[in-house]
A and B are shown apart, each in its own frame.
Chain A
């Protein structure tokens, strides 16, 4: 009898742990066996994956999660990231600048975030005034952003030269350790950032959004809308305003991604960020979000984003053909959703 209730308790706990976490650990295990744990799990590669996550899908996925959770979908995130990244580069490469470098940096970041907010609001505004589905609206806004980005770029890459404070956002770290490796007879010492600024920004945003979803009326409203739109509306929730805020926040998150991306590459081209919205959706779905809305959490989305980054890095470590990588990522996506659906039916 005891054993039975014990097992039930274990099952109950297991059910609360996101399945994706097991999947992620499983994938890491497979990759470390294939690559050799010493190479795959060494500090520099672990930081490499987390960094790739923070400057790629990591932050943007939060925006995808919010949109999906409130029964929408946001296809403009990549476009907004491109536009914001481009604005940052354009302002920072302003020469001769009429203001000092520190002020210019503040201005550039402000303008980039403002652009994200404006584009996000545009999504929200059209959504609240019309019956057009969100994927159509955001697709249109995405194209607007892409075009603006191309126009600002004037068809080339905008380089940001020698702006140390700005580069620190995407490549800097608050704390570094030395890693020594042998390369034949040579000893190579590299400094590995273990508290990268971009990763800290990403984690801070996840903490913030986790609180926002759990502790504020806004979070409750989002889940309510996703759970049952009509019921939410009938119970007096201002659905229009909530969905407007969802897309506004999405725009801001995409803008942060754009800024970090530009900082990491120290250059912006209009093509940067385009298509990233699909990685964001994949991350949210792998994290457990249902396209019908109302499910998953920011931290689950984080695991989803990490899974995407681990897959990309792992496939390139095991030297899989790039075309094959897409099959594997597609398979993972379908398997996760299938298992999730099967679990819910039970």
Chain B
């Protein structure tokens, strides 16, 4: 039994990766999960930027996606660790507010990235990300323009996760574009939680249900690719166009390969590096904008190659 305990302690030491920290500031980064590619791009860019400018970035994201309670606990743990700042992309924009208020009371500045918290006030120093409403509007508008002027567009929306502000904003933007356009007939929309597998399943069902689909707008690239897979399997690629959102390397590659028509560049790595830069500026006593805009351009076959080289370099 003693041996086991000694072994356990040894393993703990190893896993904790006790490292000397010469960096000036300590920051906890809390993203939405530990399983999807997009968040890894954001995290590695944040950590790389931290190493460059002397900020120690530690990630503590929930393992599974959409775990609001785990994010809440991660914020409280960061407060106890007395970090210098917290950067968070809230899973549940409303549910995270009490935790952010606690951080504010403890004097720890909070930065949101990618997704805003609900009614951001004094608790949040700045938000780094795209205007999701504008992004939703821009991509929808671009996709609608691909169709002849007098043709009805039968639309399917592969929705994200309605507890997050990101989803609500993107949908609001798409709805604004629909209202302006006048040709769009929204057939159906369903949440697929930003997951490729779930989107594929959802799309399979829609393909059985609807004979006439012209356009599929997915709220991220993963879901767009999942939908594409379902459409290929059904042998209906020629019938409809698909759009994604995020501008991840996989998404941009899919645009280049003609699998999906367009995506919206969120610049996830940009969100990661810019938020850490903003933290550093703020902690050094400088001024930061309330909203630091990153990305926002529609990725089309024309510019996807260029964006991709930027991402991969």
Contact = CB atoms under 8 A, between A and B. Distances in A.
Interface residues of A, number: 54
A267 interface: yes
Contacts of A344: none
A313 B4 CA distance: 22
Contact of A48 (B66, B80, B168): B80
Interface size class of B (residues with CB under 8 A): 35 or more
A39 B97 CA distance: 25
Interface string B81-95: 110000000001111
Contact of B77 (A155, A268, A313, A328): A313
A321 B63 CA distance: 10
Interface string A38-63: 01001011001001100010000000
Interface string A20-54: 00000010001000110001001011001001100
Interface in B1-35: 1, 4-5, 8-9, 11-13, 15-18, 34
Nearest to A170: B98
B54 to A, nearest CB: 15
Contact of B73 (A26, A167, A312, A321): A312
Contacts of B219: none
Contact of A39 (B74, B82, B106, B163): B82
Contact of B12 (A34, A51, A267): A34
A42 B162 CA distance: 38
Contacts of A190: 105-106
Nearest to A271: B66
B288 to A, nearest CB: 18
Interface stretch (A100-108, A180-188, A207-215): A180-188
Nearest to A51: B76
Nearest to A269: B163
Nearest to A323: B34
Contacts of A265: 68-69, 72, 92, 95-96, 98
A272 B69 contact: yes
B71 to A, nearest CB: 10
Contact of A34 (B16, B62, B94, B118): B16
A297 B297 CA distance: 60
B67 interface: yes
B42 to A, nearest CB: 15
A260 to B, nearest CB: 11
Contacts of B60: 316, 319, 322
A228 interface: no
Interface of B: 1, 4-5, 8-9, 11-13, 15-18, 34, 58-64, 66-69, 72-74, 76-82, 92-98, 105-107, 118, 162-163, 168, 191
> Which are the 10 A-B pairs with shortest beta-carbon distances?
A265-B95, A155-B162, A157-B163, A267-B95, A45-B80, A316-B77, A267-B94, A188-B107, A156-B162, A318-B16
